[in-house]
Amino acid sequence: MDYVLILLPLVLFLIAYKFLFSSKTNLPPGPTPFPIVGNLHLIKPPVHRLFRRFADKYGEIFSLRYGSRQVVVISSLPLVKECFTGQNDIILTNRPHFLTAQYVAYDYTTIGTAPYGEHWRNLRRICSLEILSSNRLTGFLSVRRDEILRLLTRLSRDYSGRVVELEPLLADLTFNNIVRMVTGKRYYGDEIHNKEEADLFKKLVTEINDNSGASHPGDYLPILKMFGHGYEKKVKALGEAMDGFLQKLLDECRRDGESNTMLSHLLSLQQDQPKYYSDVIIKGLMLSMMLAGTDTSAVTLEWAMASLLKNPEVLKKAKAEIDEKIGEERLIDEPDIVNLPYLQNVVSETFRLCPAAPLLVPRSPSEDIKIGGYDIPRGTIVLVNSWSIHRDPKLWDEPERFMPERFEDQEAANVNKLMVFGNGRRTCPGAALGQRMVSLALGSLIQCFDWEIVSGEEIDMTENPGMAMRKLVPLRAVCHQRPIMNSLLA
């Protein structure tokens, strides 16, 4: 009898599956899906490279089946523009439903997961005007300065003339910057506020990233629930743990009155508008900032340093620009960046060749639409392979070469071809913060140290096979402090 209970749903599923695929929907071409698993058996990391091979075979728009869910992948700039302009941009403003968004992101109510509508527009307004405005980012400049100075001091004290692995130091820098902006606390490196709290935060962030719904079969194969698959239970427990952590921070700030943090500002808004600025809304904004605003900047900085060491003529040119414009009497500052065009071009070229998120955050149409002449049904998971577009020879000369000079040609408007922060209405609201942090930190590393490859080693540019495009082999380099460090440490 137990076997009948198991087999009957399978038979019904296969019948429904055959019915779905016998429809006359004009889907984009793609590999033939298998029953139940669809094309999941073909998905091998790194996915952005696999998708580029699929695009070469099936075209710039192709379809896949992730278990029970339809997926469409976009791999050309004209199709991206078709997706994210006009009415299509509104239709494609929604996000697909994943279990992590349900249980960790407060039932799809955070700015990254909420459907398009009044609530999402309000969240966007809060981010743009209240917590990520130009004035507020400038108000937190002292935090960025302090964290960068701590990094430079640590490099000088512990690694000058020695080999340093940069990834953990860069991660400390970017995580501390965001967490201090949000809560006023330091969780990484020296002088942390509470080691137990810091360790819990690290653990929760790691587990959330590892259980992202965009990459987990539990979101695509509902049949797994029949066999006791524990993914949903695990994600639910993770969401409860993170909520408890954030609530503790919120209560602490409310009790102690921590000033000049994003959290304290949100609590002051709560006093004026308690019905809207609920604890859930505030915790959702905290969660979005602390997850989305940290890892990507650290990953980008490591790729930038690796690219400079692999292209020493570019590093030499960037250093010469800083020495000429800033000198050795003071440390580079954020207002200087606008006068350092080559440094900006180095950052742009890093975004192009090494995007921290090679696939843009998924979208999902709220109604049936057509893209590239093909039918895209409501609820489809729409992915944009920005990594592939950034290396498209139709858009870029010598696309595989690290060449910041390509962004000097303003007429070509190459910078408008970049989509590292997304596209359309759901462009990342933290883009300005990310650019400020990467530019200032990278400029400081170039100004304060001479860098060289470890003797006998080569810079390995292989990507780690994950959703975030980290380096597979962590960057190791030798740094020698320059004279400016003497005055900084005096």
**Opening angle at CA 401, ends 57 and 458, nearest 5:** 105
Q: Residue 229: its pLDDT value, please?
A: 66
Q: Residue 258: its pLDDT value, please?
A: 67
Q: Identify each DSSP E strand in 159-315 by its residue range.
A: 162-165
Q: Residue 452: its pLDDT value, please?
A: 97
Task: List the single range of 47-51, 130-134, 412-416, 453-457 with lowest mean pLDDT.
Answer: 412-416
**Opening angle at CA 420, ends 453 and 410, nearest 5:** 90
Q: Residue 225: its pLDDT value, please?
A: 67
Q: Residue 466: its pLDDT value, please?
A: 78
Question: Average pLDDT, stretch 371-394?
Answer: 97
How many Cβ atoms sit within 10 Å of the Cβ of residue 15? 10
Strand partners, 451: 479
Residues 6+ apart with CB under 8 A from 304: 346, 347, 350, 354, 438, 442
Task: List the single range of 32-36, 259-263, 458-462 with lowest mean pLDDT.
Answer: 259-263
Please give the share of the chain, as a percent, with pLDDT higher than 70.
92
Question: What is the residue-averaged pLDDT of the chain?
Answer: 90
Q: How far apart are CA 94 and CA 418, in angstroms?
A: 22
Examine the pLDDT at 110 and tell me if it is beyond 70. Answer: yes
Quickly list DSSP for 383-419. EEBHHHHTT-TTTSSSTTS--GGGGG-GGGTGGGG--
Confidence of residue 385 (pLDDT cuts 50, 70, 90): very high
Buried b (16+ CB within 10 A) or exposed e, 271-288: eeeeeebebebbbbbbbb
pTM of the predicted structure, to 2 decimals: 0.92
Confidence of residue 11 (pLDDT cuts 50, 70, 90): very low
Q: Which domains does the chain have, with CATH numbers?
A: 25-489 (1.10.630.10)
**Opening angle at CA 226, ends 221 and 232, nearest 5:** 60
368 contacts 99 by C-beta, under 8 angstroms: no
Q: Is 127 annotated as a binding residue?
A: no
Residues 6+ apart with CB under 8 A from 451: 305, 308, 309, 315, 445, 477, 478, 479, 480
Query: Residue 188 gets which letter from DSSP?
Result: S
The candidate with the shortest Cα–Cα distance to 417, out of 339, 349, 344, is 349
Examine the pLDDT at 423 and tell me if it is beyond 50. Answer: yes
Q: What is the pLDDT of residues 152-207, one digit of tens each?
A: 999 999 999 999 999 999 999 999 999 999 999 998 887 787 888 988 988 998 88
Residues 6+ apart with CB under 8 A from 109: 119, 280, 281, 284
Q: What is the pLDDT of residues 265-277, one digit of tens each?
A: 999 999 999 988 9
Q: What is the pLDDT of residues 256-315, one digit of tens each?
A: 876 789 999 999 999 999 988 999 999 999 999 988 767 889 999 999 999 999 999 999
Range among 221-225, 271-275, 323-327 rated most confident: 323-327
Q: What is the pLDDT of residues 130-139, one digit of tens each?
A: 899 999 999 9
Please give the share of the chain, as a percent, with pLDDT higher than 90.
77
Task: List the single range of 93-97, 224-228, 287-291 with lowest mean pLDDT.
Answer: 224-228
Q: Residue 19: its pLDDT value, please?
A: 43
Instruction: Please name the residue that has the structure tokens 């100075």.
Output: 149
Examine the pLDDT at 473 and tell me if it is beyond 80. Answer: yes
438 contacts 347 by C-beta, under 8 angstroms: yes
